[in-house]
Amino acid sequence: MERASKLWRLLKVFTLIEGKPGIGAAELAERCETSLCTVYRDVYLLKLAGIPIYYQKGYRISPHFFLPPVQFDLTETLSLAMGAEILSRQRGTPFQRGVERAMEKIYAALPPGIREAVHREAVHFSPAWEPTVDYEKRLPVLELLERGVEENRSVTISYHSLSRDEVTERTVDPYGFLFRSNAWYLVGYCHLRGEIKIFKVDRILEAELLEETFQPPEDFNIREYMGDAWQVLRGEPREVAVRFSPQVAPYVKECIWHFSQRCRDCEDGGAVLTFRVSGLSEICSWIMAFGGEAEVLEPPELRDMVLERARGIVEKYSG
């Protein structure tokens, strides 16, 4: 999200300067809803990209400069359309609004023949619907958090923890975002807990952007921080082995469920999948979805966890 937002802002800065030669940094900051420091950095990045921006009673672009037209063939346009449809389902996020506006511009610039072919061929493709959170009511919070990430500014949040069923006030240095289990998460340093934490965005009830800035750790990388997590929850990495019956093995083998996945075929047509996973509760839920067609081989703690949940289900339905 951070990179996409930054790209849209750079394009907006370019468009504003091109459309209003002589525009000042203060107006650019106001129109882009960002800080003067960010505007100066954006202008510098545009110059590095080869765009001839100069300052003469405001910012201007050399009149001899133009962006070359981008041409898409049918396959490229269909690919963009399918990707746009998936992103447009992120209701209430900057992605939804941005991708819809972008596709309107792309369709308007297409030759009539390509545009008609795209609409005709699109009916033969349907990306699977996945349940997602509606962020419409959370959009102001999401946009504020995004500014905190972009400008390295701390935020205060009111966060509802489901595990404790309590609301706490926290100051957080926002480092970036995760998209897992069809929901957005904020990753940042929590001053209340004194460590990096993960916050589900739709549980952030209120947020306020502070003037205090922070310097993210130079070696921090969200992907490395998440490590071997199955989805969101982190923990001690464990080796997990699960045997799947011949009935579901072909289906299981079709997918890459985790980047550490390894597969060994069994003589009876079944398969054993092994993973290196941080935390066991999330993979336990995944295994439970296969019912009696999956058996945990390792580790013993995961076998006990599945057994306990299975007993709970039996008790629920046998009462």
**Tens digits of residue pLDDT in 146-165:** 888 888 899 999 999 887 88
Residue 194 confidence class, pLDDT cut points 50, 70, 90: very high
Q: Which two tokens stand for residue 120?
A: 């005709």
Task: Give residue 246's pLDDT.
Answer: 95
For residues 49 and 10, give the distance between their C-alpha atoms in angstroms, rounded to a whole number: 11
Q: What is the DSSP letter of 23?
A: B
Residue 3 confidence class, pLDDT cut points 50, 70, 90: very low
* Residue tagged 């054993």 (tokens): 272
CATH code for the domain defined by 2-61: 1.10.10.10
Q: Which two tokens stand for residue 194?
A: 């004194």
* Helix, strand, coil tally for the chain in percent (to 5): 45, 25, 30
Question: Residue 305: pLDDT above 90?
Answer: yes
List the 271-278 sheet strands across, edge first. 262-265, 271-278, 237-244, 294-298
Backbone φ, ψ for residue 23 (5° rounding): -65, 140
Please check whether residue 171 is in contact with residue 105, taking contact to mean a CB–CB distance below 8 angstroms.
Answer: no
For residues 282 and 280, give the distance between their C-alpha atoms in angstroms, rounded to a whole number: 6
For residues 145 and 139, give the distance between their C-alpha atoms in angstroms, rounded to a whole number: 10
**Tens digits of residue pLDDT in 227-248:** 778 777 787 888 999 999 999 9
* Domain 139-226 fold: SH3 type barrels. (2.30.30)
Helix boundaries (H) for the chain: 2-19, 25-31, 36-48, 74-88, 94-109, 112-122, 139-151, 222-226, 249-254, 281-288, 300-318
Select the CATH number that applies to the domain covering 237-318 from these four: 3.40.50, 1.10.3120, 3.30.70, 3.30.519.
Answer: 3.30.70
The amino acid sitting at 169 is E
Which residue in 110, 130, 134 sits closest to 122, CA to CA?
A: 110
Task: Give residue 9's pLDDT.
Answer: 79
Q: Which two tokens stand for residue 29?
A: 């900051």
Please check whether residue 261 is in contact with residue 230, taking contact to mean a CB–CB distance below 8 angstroms.
Answer: no
Question: Residue 210: pLDDT above 50?
Answer: yes
Task: Give residue 98's pLDDT.
Answer: 66
**DSSP string across 172-191:** EEEEEEEEETTEEEEEEEET
Q: Which two tokens stand for residue 7?
A: 């790209």
Residue 279 confidence class, pLDDT cut points 50, 70, 90: confident
**What 3-state DSSP class applies to 59?**
strand
Average of per-residue pLDDT values in the chain = 82
CB atoms inside a 10 Å sphere around CB 90? 21
Q: Which two tokens stand for residue 139?
A: 């959009």
Which residue in 278, 280, 268 sits closest to 244, CA to CA?
A: 268
The percentage of the chain sitting over the pLDDT mark of 90, rounded to a whole number, equals: 32
90 vs 11, higher pLDDT = 11
* Residue tagged 């082995």 (tokens): 241
